[in-house]
Amino acid sequence: DQQVKQNSPSLSVQEGRISILNCDYTNSMFDYFLWYKKYPAEGPTFLISISSIKDKNEDGRFTVFLNKSAKHLSLHIVPSQPGDSAVYFCAAGTGNQFYFGTGTSLTVIP
Amino acid sequence: KAGVTQTPRYLIKTRGQQVTLSCSPISGHRSVSWYQQTPGQGLQFLFEYFSETQRNKGNFPGRFSGRQFSNSRSEMNVSTLELGDSALYLCASSLRQGSYNEQFFGPGTRLTVL
């Protein structure tokens, strides 16, 4: 049973616009959340994280929002650039056990 | 600094065989974690090794096993291969145990089971 779900397998956005990637989780005990980016033929790379004591974390063009009551987090990329085209995985968990979503493939159209 | 390396990059096996995958972490990293990536299930955690001891384990059958050597290199073994084991197997290294925001992933080994 998937504890972390990314319901949109793919997303296309025009360059310069906002990309919003969504992620839902089922376990209210999860207290740490991460986003990874993966290019083809490469391993995932850590992008940004947020702990449950916050509802927003920002790093340059990337912002992660956490809505604990809805068990939902989202990644906003503003402005989107063609180099952002990749598969994005969210992960959620606690302690030493984390669960990953199935990924969303983002395509930024020049 | 060299990144995480995994060998082989591609592997084709038949059902019932066994396979061993290798992962060399970044120099100085003592934690190695293994993941299985499939289109339907995403990234699933297999296990984590730190200082030659398995510290954490995901929900996979006993056919999946691993070990870590004194130089932090790690191997993963899958016995009695099934068609459903076809996947990309990723390893990730980090300095500390359980450092999910400090993991560096290798490029993966693509295993195909026929």
What tens digit of pLDDT does each residue of B45-98 get? 899 999 999 988 888 999 999 999 999 999 999 999 999 999 999 999 998 887
Give one DSSP letter per residue of A56-77, joined into a string. EEEETTEEEEEETTTTEEEEEE
Give the closest-approach CA distance of A10 to chain B in angstroms: 12
Q: Cβ separation of B98 and A102 shorter than 8 Å? A: no
pLDDT band at B29 (very low <50, low <70, confident <90, very high): very high
Contact check, Cβ <8 Å, A93/B43? no
The pLDDT assigned to B83 comes to 96
From B97's Cα to the closest Cα of chain A, the distance in A is 8
Q: Write out the residues of chain B at the interface with chain A, using a CB-CB cutoff of 8 A.
A: 4, 35, 39-45, 48, 55-56, 58, 90, 92, 97-98, 100-108
Q: How many CB atoms lie within 10 A of CB A88?
A: 23
Contact at CB, A43 and B107, closer than 8 angstroms: yes
- Is pLDDT at B40 greater than 80 in this prediction? no
* Signed CA dihedral, A38, B107, A45, A7: sign only: positive
Highest mean pLDDT among B2-11, B34-43, B99-108: B2-11
Pairing of strands A56-59, A62-67: antiparallel
Mean per-residue pLDDT for B16-43?
92
- Which pair of structure tokens corresponds to residue A17? 């616009």
Angle B10-B94-B11 from CA coordinates, rounded to 5°: 10
Cis-peptide, bond into residue B61, ω within 30° of zero: no
- CB of B95 closer than 8 Å to CB of B103: no
Query: Region A6-27: what's the mean pLDDT?
Result: 96
Name the residue in chain B with its Cα closest to that of A94.
B98
Which residue did the predictor score with more confidence, B79 or A97?
A: B79
